[in-house]
A and B are shown apart, each in its own frame.
Chain A
Amino acid sequence: MHGYTGRILHVDLGSRAWRVDDLQPEIARDYLGGRGLGARILSDMMAPGTDPLSPEAPLIFATGPLTGTKAPTSGRFSLSGRSPLTGTILDTNCGGALGARLKGAGYDALVLTGAASEPTVLRVDEDGVAFESAGELAGCEVGEVTGALTGGRASTSAAVIGSAGERLVKLATIMVDAKRALGRGGMGAVMGSKRLKAVVVTGSGRPSVARPEDLEFFLYEVDKAIAANPVTSTVLPRFGTGMLVGVLGTRGLMPALNYRSDGRDYVEKLSGERLAEEFLVRRSGCWGCAIACGRQTRTAGGEGHGPEYETIWALGANLGIDELEQVVELNYLCNELGLDTISVGGTLAAAIELAEDGAPLPIKRGDFASVRAAIEALAHREGEMGEAAADGALALCEAYGRPDVAMQVKGLELPEYDPRGMQGQGLGYATSNRGGCHLRGNMLGFEVLGTPKLVDRSVVGGKAGLLIVAQHLGAALDSLSLCKFSSFALNEEHYARLYSAITGFDLSGQELLVCGERIWNLERVFNLSAGFTGAEDRLPTRLVEEPNAEGDVVHLEEMLSEYYRFRGWTPEGVPTPDKLARLGLYGS
């Protein structure tokens, strides 16, 4: 197979047995790789009701057919499993270089099951796997562990959990090379439940290409489009994703204080421009990326990676903190402990609101010291608040009898696009298969940036169709695996031609979107089998009842019924047998 290695590595951490299975070509064609391949493997291996923190629960690292190739932004890979935070199927997509290393070692995917008897480091290379005791690295934080495991080794990357993952904190990330996060849904806790401190991958091989001459031309066109688009060629490289502080904040689309107010007052102090001027050491790109939106930054307290827009908002405006240096340092802290900054910010913002409503919680808005202490307590499950917050915003708010305060969907804390001003994004949050997430159908292009075309963000009618296209394209990109930022400049035609030239499998742009639809429906079926229903396609009451500064709320019900019809699902949100049959999923 071209583009693929055709090999899937299965490792049982309990018995320390491993084997290599063939990747079936028809699976590759239908699910592409990455997120799609992960969803397929998970659905085949795991009963949806399985406890995500049990040894039986698989943890799947999956590359895409474009991972490690000359396609731009192709260093990515996906991690799939069942989320301990939400109970949904969950994939989390990551940059850096680990994806290219895994492909370089000769594997399309690494499937982990079982649980080790002691804290363990798993090494993977072209010869197979080796198991090592984590020894003194157990209990250490991300930077130290990553340095010890990768320092001085060529073509090596490490996926590491910090103390949060070891303590099964449901907001725990897996950090890749101490810079990039497998961020959302608490997959660090799944790794911790397997007593797996780190996965270290060494590999330098490159996948073969079916039609090199075609690929060269398509790459030329793709590079030209990325260079011509101001988002990918100018704004993201210069200001990182922090550019969204200005873009969204000035339009009243960046909320503050747990969605209780809008974040206009934070724009000047927390902007991407300011981050670049005062803290940027150098730009940082993932493997094979010309955009290089990553930020290597420095404060008086040290140097580290980030923050991105989501973090600037989550640990800044959402907590009432308007000192950018403090936000940068809180980001470093979360990276070290191995915590998802969006979920931590959402959880602590809820804690602040609870405290302001009278709950005895030791945290105050805008107070760096109490926020920092709360993050450490959360990561170590210390104290009453730390223990409750370690299971996320909903668990914390339920513990204090106020579940309405948690800004979450399906248990996943919301990110930072206020959907009261972006109706389509609201529908996207509600229908995301992994809960409150902006990346599972991002309407930023349609509703704000005008890519491919600008539509009225306050209008409700027609948003279902646009969102569905975005959801399918997003699923396809996560499966190829390419960075979503490339889609500001490229479209499905570009992606399909790259895929066809690399793999030799002829695929049209529309067929690529059908692959995305197949993956989306498979994920939906998994969630329904795990007990979710259309009743969970909901938004927090605040967003549908409490107007923003412009007087808008999300008109979810109207969009949701259109969305189900558009998808060919029942009014209850269940894919029909006919729909599943058309996608080759009948029986899933």
Chain B
Amino acid sequence: MYEEFRAIGRDILLSGLISSHGGNMSVRVGDRIVITRRGSMLGRLTERDIIETSLEHDDSEVALASTEIVVHRAIYAKTNGLAIVHTHSPHSVLRSMIEDEIVPIDSEASYLLHKVPVYSLPRTAGSSEVAETVSAALQEYKCVLLRGHGPFAIGTVLEEGFQWVSCLEMACKILNLRDSVGAECKEYREHGGEYGKW
């Protein structure tokens, strides 16, 4: 399992989805949660950066776990997700401060994500409000975005969660590029105006 954390963490950094010490990941293993260490560098994870603790109950290991463990636990409690990826993807963060939902215009994200909702909370990291809001939203969507903070995504394995946040980031980058170019894009999709329904 360490190898999976190490490889995905490295990919997340190289994809530009986090700063040096940003983001976190976890995997649910039965009634346990395996989560990245608070302050760890996802791009340079070692075995000591992988913390195992209870899915529901605090123990001493929680002292080492990511600040966001409360959010991860709430997500596992409300969804069937087996892995969670959270990043601070720059284009996604910018877009989250412009719109209330991300409706991609590119083909890949239209196909995979359809729509990603944006939630605005004053305390953005590790709060019970974030835990409640994000976990409820992930019952409906595989990937959701916290305004000014970044996306949370669930999957069956870490790779899947990484795919959702990566796909969202590309979609937001394209939207931001469109806005910066200032050109009006031509619709090429059937039902292109309906992705907001998702």
Contact = CB atoms under 8 A, between A and B. Distances in A.
Contacts of B82: 462, 465-466, 469
Nearest to B112: A225
Contacts of B114: 221
Given A225-B111, A469-B80, A510-B80, A452 B160 contact: yes
A217 B197 contact: yes
Contacts of A493: 141-142
A509 interface: yes
A455 B30 contact: no
Contact of A510 (B138, B191, B197): B138
Interface string B140-164: 1110000000000001110110000
Nearest to A472: B80
A508 B156 contact: no
Contacts of A461: 1, 29
A562 B55 CA distance: 14
A565 B31 contact: yes
Interface in B161-198: 190-191, 194, 197-198
A455 B157 contact: yes
Interface string A565-587: 11010000000000000000000
B30 A465 contact: yes
A244 interface: no
Nearest to B135: A510
A511 to B, nearest CB: 6
A464 B82 CA distance: 11
Contact of A462 (B29, B78, B79, B138): B29
Contacts of A455: 157
B80 A446 contact: no
Contacts of A509: 139-140, 142
Nearest to A465: B82
A453 interface: yes
A217 B194 CA distance: 7
Contacts of B140: 508-510
A510 B78 contact: yes
Contacts of B156: 446, 452-453, 466, 469
Contacts of B194: 217
Contacts of A464: 30
A480 to B, nearest CB: 16
Interface in A183-229: 214, 217, 220-221, 224-225, 228
Nearest to B31: A565
Kindly name the residue among A461, A469, A509 whose own CB sees the greatest number of chain B CB atoms within 10 A. A509
A453 B138 CA distance: 19
A497 interface: yes
A511 B141 CA distance: 12
Interface residues of A, number: 33
Nearest to B193: A217
A566 B31 contact: yes
B32 to A, nearest CB: 9
A507 to B, nearest CB: 10
Contacts of B28: 465
B13 interface: no
Contacts of B25: none
Interface in A485-517: 491, 493, 497, 508-511, 513-514, 517
Interface in B1-53: 1, 27-31
A464 B28 CA distance: 11
A511 B139 contact: yes
B33 to A, nearest CB: 11
A461 B1 CA distance: 9
A220 B191 contact: yes
A326 B68 CA distance: 61
Given A513-B80, A566-B30, A224 B160 contact: no
A228 B112 CA distance: 12
* Chain B CB within 10 Å, residue with most, of A497, A514, A566: A566
A517 B82 CA distance: 15
Given A508-B139, A510-B138, A214 B1 contact: no
Given A220-B190, A462-B29, A453 B155 contact: yes
Interface centre among A508, A517, A562, A565 (most CB of B within 10 A): A508
Given A455-B157, A461-B1, A466-B156, A510 B29 contact: no
A465 B34 CA distance: 13
A493 to B, nearest CB: 7
B195 to A, nearest CB: 8
A354 to B, nearest CB: 40
B155 A452 contact: yes
Contacts of A224: 111
Nearest to B113: A493
Contacts of A466: 82, 156
B157 A510 contact: no
A497 B198 contact: yes
Contact of B191 (A217, A446, A452, A468): A217
Given A228-B111, A468-B80, A493-B141, 12 more contacts: A221-B198, A225-B111, A453-B160, A461-B29, A462-B27, A464-B30, A465-B29, A466-B156, A472-B80, A510-B79, A562-B30, A568-B31
7 contacts: A217-B194, A446-B156, A466-B82, A466-B156, A468-B80, A565-B30, A568-B31
